[in-house]
């Protein structure tokens, strides 16, 4: 194993992962938030360190060049200038990052929103009192079209005509991580009480969901729930 190769390979791998996540992935899908990119870079560093320090020889191949570069031992010419540049630029970079993190900014801070807070006790364990018949589903679909479709969309994927106006966007029922993970009683609570009825746990209460109990009866809400599951191709969570 050649001495400096492992350190260089590790550096290249780290840079490649960063470039792939930050610049290549957005060409295929939505860009990743930096919190996730940092997480994956952290794992990459762990991988490089673990693999590079398995044996004495590989440890030297990984860390030796780094230590020699930092200590300036036995280096000269262009490498010496590069070392000087790193020693000057790195603290400046850290300072710049720190300033960027602390300076007043017009952007609100990143937040961890509780998407699925626990429902109040009176909504736990309720079951749909209406039979799941084609008629009820059809009626529910009609109600969905009238009340829910503008935001949650005709395909139940949260892509309604009005969805662009909301942050966070309306829920995508076709995503297996939304209504498929929840019992019908949970949906009943969210539809009936809306964003204003979120529990304390639902911090920071970012939901534009109307409080539909004002306009819809309980039976109508249960029918809409049936229609949502049928339309999105999902099944509610049950315990039996």
Partner 1 sequence: MEHIRNHRSVYAYAALFLVLVFAVAMPVGLAWAEDAPAGAATEYRDIPGMGSRNLIWIVAQQHLLLAGFVLGVPIFAWVCEIVGVRTGDQRYDKLAKEFTKLLTSSYATTALFGGILLFLLIGLYPKLMNYLSDVFFPSFLVYCALFLLETATLYLYWYGWDSMQGSKKGLHLFLGFLLNVFAFFIMIVPNSWATFQASPVVIAEGSMWARAWAATWNPTWWPVNIHRLIANVVLGGYICGAYAGLKYLMAQNAEERVHYDWMGYVGNFIGVFGLLPLPFAGYWLMREIYQYNQQMGITLMGGFLSWLFILQAMLIGILFVGSNYYFWLGIMHRIPGSEARYRRPILAMLVILLVCLGVWMTPHSLVASLEEARKMGGTHHPLLGVFGVMSAKMTVSNLMILVTFMSFIMYWRAGKEETARWAKVAKAGQGVLLGIAVVVVVVLGVWGYFVPAITRINYFSTTQVLVVLFVLLTVTPLTGLLMKSARTTTEMVWGVMPGRAGYVLVLNAVMVILLMTLMGYARSSSRVHWHVYGVMQDTSQYAYSPALGYAAAIMALNTFLFCLLVAFIFWVASMGGEKKGGPTDTAHTKAKDAASPAVGSAPAASTGHQ
Positions that interact with partner 1 (CB under 8 A): 25, 28-36, 39-40, 43-44, 46-47, 50-51, 53-57, 59, 107-121, 124-125, 158, 167-169, 172, 175-177, 180-181, 183, 185-186, 201, 203, 234-240
Residue that is written with structure tokens 């109990």 in the block: 213
- Minimum distance between the CB of residue 181 and partner 1, rounded to whole angstroms? 6
Minimal distance in Å, beta carbon 18 to partner 1? 14
Give the residue with the Cβ less far from partner 1, 78 or 110: 110
Instruction: Output Rg (C-alpha) for the chain, integer angstroms.
Output: 27
Whole-angstrom distance, CA of residue 116 vs CA of residue 100: 32
Distances (CA, A) of 65 to 7, 68, 72, 83: 7, 5, 10, 12
Sign of CA dihedral 164, 169, 170, 176: positive
Whole-angstrom distance, CA of residue 164 vs CA of residue 41 = 32
According to DSSP, residue 22 is labeled: I
> With respect to partner 1, which residue has the nearer C-beta, 80 or 203?
203
Closer residue to partner 1 (CB): 4 or 117: 117
**Angle, helix 184-193 to helix 218-232, in steps of 10 degrees:** 120
- Least distance CB 77 / partner 1 (angstroms): 33
Which residue in 167, 118, 35, 152 sits closest to 143, CA to CA?
Answer: 152
Whose Cβ is closer to partner 1: residue 28's or residue 214's? 28
Instruction: Report, in Å, the least distance between residue 92 CB and partner 1.
Output: 24
Our CB check for partner 1 shows the closer of 137 and 143 to be: 137
Q: Find the shortest distance in angstroms from Cβ 238 to partner 1.
A: 5
């Amino acid at each position: 194993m050649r001495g400096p190769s492992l350190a260089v390979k590790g550096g290249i791998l780290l840079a490649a992962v960063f470039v792939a996540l930050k610049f290549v992935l957005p060409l295929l899908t939505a860009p990743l938030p930096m919190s996730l990119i940092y997480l994956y870079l952290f794992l990459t560093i762990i991988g490089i360190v673990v693999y590079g320090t398995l044996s004495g020889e590989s440890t030297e191949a990984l860390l030796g060049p780094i230590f020699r570069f930092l200590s300036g031992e036995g280096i000269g010419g262009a490498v010496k200038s590069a070392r000087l540049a790193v020693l000057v630029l790195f603290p400046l970079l850290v300072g710049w990052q720190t300033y960027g993190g602390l300076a007043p900014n017009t952007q609100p801070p990143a937040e961890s929103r509780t998407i699925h807070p626990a429902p109040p006790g009176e909504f736990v364990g309720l079951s749909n009192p209406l039979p799941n018949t084609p008629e009820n589903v059809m009626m529910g679909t009609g109600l969905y079209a009238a009340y829910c479709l503008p935001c949650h969309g005709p395909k139940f994927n949260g892509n309604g005509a009005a969805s662009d106006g909301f942050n966070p966007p309306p829920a995508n029922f076709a995503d297996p991580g939304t209504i498929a993970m929840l019992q019908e009683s949970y949906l009943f609570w969210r539809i009936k009480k809306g964003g204003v009825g979120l529990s304390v746990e639902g911090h920071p209460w970012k939901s534009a969901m109307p409080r539909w109990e004002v306009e819809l009866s309980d039976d109508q809400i249960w029918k809409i729930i049936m229609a949502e599951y049928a339309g999105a191709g999902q099944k509610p969570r049950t315990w039996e």
